């Protein structure tokens, strides 16, 4: 347990809790650093991570109070280098989640807005309680997505819906979100964590090499042209079934493909 994250072990499942309930679990610089540190070094015997928020909300996004406090004065925007550095830190952290060692299941409730939705979109399975509200209020605040949301969220619900949310402030609930692709499961308020643990227990029975291939292969393969995707599928299938060093070999394969396309 740290100041901003709680860590609870359930056999081969680890529960990671965002622990700023009085700030609706808004993501501060310190919190993103702790998430980065955790997902950089998930314990080797953990098969699945369940990510949840303490209190009534999953995550209300970027800590705007901290953002404003770092400006020389309220009318002066942050310099470009500072903004880029923050975005890169978020990008690296969320990449560690989406393309990491183990599946991550998120429990969504209350506010899932802005950066909180960016964080959720990096997880592999999303369980939303029916009091969940999905929001992208950046348009009303004169800012833009900066934590990979413009890349990840359109892949879930389509670009036009993201544009609508940002321009008009439109929101979606858990049942609408399940139909659109925000979440795969919708449960009653208070039931999200139990459902996520149930799913995690099922996922944990899979072969680790198979889980790694799924979370690292599906998204990347779906982004490839058809012919290259077919080839990548054959390669990942072969590597995943070979057992030894499969995680390293799958990662290496996609890194080689990425380098070849540059």
Give the active site residues. 118, 138
Closest to 40 (Cα-Cα) out of 87, 1, 93, 90: 93
Whether the Cβ atoms of residue 197 and residue 50 lie closer than 8 Å to each other = yes
What CA–CA distance (Å, rounded) separates 47 from 191? 22
Q: Which two tokens stand for residue 173?
A: 């609930």
Q: Which two tokens stand for residue 248?
A: 């390293």
What CA–CA distance (Å, rounded) separates 262 from 257? 9
Whether the Cβ atoms of residue 199 and residue 211 lie closer than 8 Å to each other = no
Q: Please give the torsion angle defined by the CA atoms of residues 68, 72, 74 and 80, in that order, rounded to the nearest 10 degrees.
A: -70
Whether the Cβ atoms of residue 26 and residue 64 lie closer than 8 Å to each other = yes
- Phi and psi, residue 12, nearest 5°: -100, 20
Whether the Cβ atoms of residue 102 and residue 48 lie closer than 8 Å to each other = yes
Whether the Cβ atoms of residue 75 and residue 42 lie closer than 8 Å to each other = no
């Amino acid at each position: 347990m740290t100041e901003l994250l709680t860590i609870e072990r359930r056999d081969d499942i680890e529960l990671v809790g965002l622990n700023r309930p009085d700030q609706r679990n808004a993501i501060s610089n310190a919190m993103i650093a702790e998430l980065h540190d955790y997902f950089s070094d998930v314990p080797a015997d953990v098969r699945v991570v369940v990510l949840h928020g303490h209190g009534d909300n999953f995550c209300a996004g970027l800590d705007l109070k901290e953002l404003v406090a770092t400006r020389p004065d309220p009318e002066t925007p942050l310099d470009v280098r500072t903004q880029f550095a923050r975005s890169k830190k978020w990008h690296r952290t969320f990449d560690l989640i989406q393309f990491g060692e183990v599946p991550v299941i998120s429990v969504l409730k209350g506010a899932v807005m802005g950066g909180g939705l960016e964080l959720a979109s990096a997880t592999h399975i999303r369980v939303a309680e029916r009091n969940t509200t999905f929001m992208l209020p950046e348009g009303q605040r004169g800012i833009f997505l900066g934590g990979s949301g413009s890349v990840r969220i359109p892949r879930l619900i389509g670009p036009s819906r993201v544009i609508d949310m940002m321009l008009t402030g439109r929101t979606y609930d858990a049942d609408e979100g399940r139909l659109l692709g925000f979440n795969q499961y919708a449960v009653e308020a208070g039931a999200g964590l139990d459902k996520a643990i149930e799913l995690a227990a099922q996922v944990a029975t899979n072969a680790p090499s198979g889980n790694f291939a799924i979370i690292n292969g599906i998204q990347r393969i779906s982004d490839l042209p058809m012919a290259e995707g077919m080839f990548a599928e054959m390669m990942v299938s072969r590597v995943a079934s070979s057992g030894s060093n499969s995680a390293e070999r799958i990662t290496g394969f996609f890194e080689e493909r990425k380098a070849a396309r540059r």
